Structure formats: structure tokens, C-alpha cells
Amino acid sequence: MTDQEKILWKKIAAELELTDKVNVYKMYAQRMGVFLEKGILHVICPDGHALGVIEKSFRQIIEKTVKRELDAATVVSFTVGKIERELQDKPLGTEVNRTPLFTIESAPAKATATDSNGTGLTAKYKFENYLMGSNNQLAYAVAKAVAERPGEAYNPLFIHSGVGLGKTHLIQAIGNKILTNRPGVKVIYSTGEAFMNELIEAIQMSKGRGQYTVNKFRNKFRSADVLLIDDVQSIAGRETTQDEFFHTFNTLYMAQKQIVLTSDRPPKDFVNLEDRIRSRFGSGMIVDIQPPDLDMRIAILRNKRDESLDTVPNDVLDVIALAITTNVRELLGAYLQVSTLAKTTGSELTKDFAAKALGQRLADDRKKPLNLHQIVKAVCSYYSVKMDDVKGHRRTKDLVIPRHVAMYLIYDLTKTPYMTIGEYFGGRDHTSILHGIRKVEDELKDVAKTRQDVTNITQTVYAS
């Protein structure tokens, strides 16, 4: 931007930061700018969705600022385009070439193909509708870099976070962006569980029929230019699947093909995963996604409201954002519950109404009947261990941790007596159960990983 445009944009930005929708502006600020030409001020937005939100929310403020700072006859136009950061960030007084400053998209990009082309991707997952904040900024930036230069930047890429924080959206956005930029590239998306099940089916079908179906399975994954595996933790503890995955990984990595993995935990925290695979996971870029902070949660809710054209007051959204701190999925679920309940009952959407509705939601979740088997099954799935081993008497580290967490969750979520828990865990006495529970309680105060594990498992239990 020219010096004049930079100064004008700073003044516009200052006005936008004083509005009650500052979080909406901040979501797109780093990818916005202005371009002044022949009496028209082009407000450059990163995509069509952003254009709609920015124009709807801020047109009057921007026009008022432009009228004050420029000729009153200047027309404000909102345009989809791309601001080149290296030029946008040049200091005042630096001459720039006007021609490549931004590119205006004349028409919306064609929707990315979905499962019909065999990629496994879903078209709705794009970078353009992925909300970026301080909790996921690094993951977003690295994912964008991978999508722009697959096989060159950050290979392999390993993204980890708790449930409902956007891992699937981000990994699929990578695939969809690559297909948009390079239609001929072979992109394969799969979950860890689907990879395992497809391998098992191939092995079963191969019995008595040679190796044709296994070879077909291998060719599918090992001929990929981009391999995206979501929830890769599912392969832990499965020896045959791990062996197949290891060789698939090596084949693609040696051929400089892009590999992107997501998981609910970092590589170092895997249990029952072969060291050779763990080392491969850690050989590239590892990024995490943290739960959204309050400002981000408010921004997400306001974005959802604007997309849905709902009339939900800001103070009601604040109540929801304060009440739901776990993940985006729960946050949007709470929003839907509050707004739908108000519509169906004809009630006015007030802070008190939202608080009452959310209080009932949280109470209903906690009233959901749970049993010991259900909790232990969730723990075993999370740590990739067998239920019989956790209930047994072996005291290896990979079993003791899940065992103590299971004891703690059973007591915390069901208030089952120590003696009954002991009977369930192979006839242990109540002092052993008390020891395990207190150990977890102590770690919850000081060990971030234990807190995250317990939170993830609890969410899984109530979601099942």
C-alpha cells in the first residue's frame, strides 16, 4: 500500500477496534487492506465469507471514516483479493510496485470435490471458514504453508489437540487447498481407524486368493502425493497396522510426498506405539491447538450468528462463551440449544434465559447414566491398552497410568464406593483404590498432561 493508503487503513482499523464487533474485525485484520484508485476505495477482504461479514458489520463506519479523511465523493467498494504481506508491511516512505499489490478474484473458486473423487475429503472444510485466533494461529500458519508447498515445507506435519478444537477441519482444509491449486495431485484422506479397518478387510479377503487385495490396499496409500491421516492414535497397540503404516510412511517420505497427521496427543505421549513410528512422527513439525480463550469463543459465536442471520444479542453470546470453555463443538452446540429453545418456546433471548438454558444443559449432561464398563472402555481406547490388562495385576507403566485414571474417573463421575471399584479391578482392597485416586488428584494440580487426558476422556464418556 502507498503511504496514504497505509495511514488511511490505520485510521479505519482504529475505528473498527472501538466497535462492539472488534473480535470479528480481528479475525480478518491480518489479511485485509485498502487500495485507492480513481475515486474508489477498495476494501480488500480475504474471501467471500469475510467480505459479507465485514461489509454487513462495518460498512457505515468505514464510509464515515473515508468521508472524514478523504473527498466526500469517494466510493467505498468491498472486494475479494489477496494483500501481499511483504509489500503491505513495508515501512512508510518505501516505494512499492502497484501492480502486484493484490489480486482480485473475479469469481468464487469452484467448490472442491468431495468423496466422489476418492479423496475422502469434505468440501466444506476450507481455510476461508476456519476461524483463527491465538489458540490456533501457529497451526493455521503452518497448515497454510503446507497447502501452498506440499512436500517442501514441514514434512511430516503433526497436529495435536483435544477433541472438538478443529483438527479435522484443518487437515481437510490442507487437502482441499492442494486440490484447488493442483487438480492433478493425488490426495488421500483417511482416519487412523479407517486405515486399520481397510487393512484388516484386505488381509481377510486375501486369504486363499494370494496377495492381490493387500497389494491394492498398499498401492492406494503408497501412491499418494499427499497422505492425510486423521486421529492417527487409533493405530497404537495394533502391531500389524503399525507395521503397514510404518512402511507406507517410509515409502512416501523417501519420495518427498507430503504427510499430515492429527492426534489427540503429541507423539511423546503415545502408549503402545513402536519407537520407530514415534520417531517418524516427531521428525517433522509438531504443532498443537489449544482451547479457545474467551475473546475467541465470543468471536466464534458472533461469526455463527452472522452466518445464520440470527438475532442473538451480544450479551447472550457472552453468557454462552463464559459457560462453555471446553471446545468449539460444545460451544456451537450450546449456541444451537439456546437459540432453538428460544424460538420453539417463543421466549425472549436474554442473559437470564441463556443462563437457565445452559444450566439445564450442563445438569442434563451430568445426569447421564454412566457405568463402570463404559468409563474403563473409554480409558482403554484413549491409552490404546486392553481392558483385561487394566483390570489385571501387571504393574508396567503403560498400564498403571490408565488404571489409576480409570479408578479416578469412576469415583469422580459415579461416586461408586471404593470397595466396589476394587472388586471390579480384580479384587483389589479399598486402600489400593484410594491410592490410585489420590495420585491422579495430585497430578491434576501440577501435571498439564494428566489434566488434558482426564478432560478428553470425560468428554468422550459423555459424548458416547
Diameter over CA atoms, the chain: 84
Instruction: Say if residue 262 carries a ligand binding annotation.
Output: no
Please state which CATH number belongs to domain 3-104: 3.30.300.180
pTM to 2 decimal places: 0.58
Question: How much is the pLDDT for 152?
Answer: 86
Contact call for residues 105 and 81 (beta carbons, < 8 A)? yes
Instruction: Say if residue 168 carries a ligand binding annotation.
Output: yes
pLDDT along the chain (464 residues), means of 10: 81 80 72 83 80 83 86 81 52 39 38 52 88 85 93 90 88 95 92 89 71 79 94 88 93 94 88 86 90 86 86 90 83 88 87 82 56 88 88 88 93 87 89 92 86 82 70
Please state which CATH number belongs to domain 115-289: 3.40.50.300
Question: How much is the pLDDT for 111?
Answer: 38
Fill in the DSSP letter of residue 415.
-
Angstrom distance (rounded) from CA 48 to CA 28: 12
CB neighbour class for 180 (10 Å; exposed up to 12, middle 13-18, buried from 19): middle
Which residue carries 468428554 as its cell? 459
Which residue carries 473515508 as its cell? 66
Angstrom distance (rounded) from CA 410 to CA 213: 43
Question: How much is the pLDDT for 101?
Answer: 37
Angstrom distance (rounded) from CA 83 to CA 46: 8
Please state which CATH number belongs to domain 372-463: 1.10.1750.10
Angstrom distance (rounded) from CA 17 to CA 12: 9
Question: How much is the pLDDT for 158?
Answer: 96
Instruction: Say if residue 164 carries a ligand binding annotation.
Output: yes
Contact call for residues 464 and 374 (beta carbons, < 8 A)? yes
Please state which CATH number belongs to domain 294-367: 1.10.8.60
CATH 3.40.50.300 residue window(s) in the chain: 115-289
Question: How much is the pLDDT for 97?
Answer: 39
CATH 3.30.300.180 residue window(s) in the chain: 3-104
Counting other chains too, the contacts that 411-419 makes at CB distance below 8 Å and 24 or more residues apart are 411/437, 413/370, 413/375, 413/458, 413/461, 414/370, 414/371, 414/372, 414/375, 416/372
Instruction: Say if residue 74 carries a ligand binding annotation.
Output: no
Which residue carries 497448515 as its cell? 143
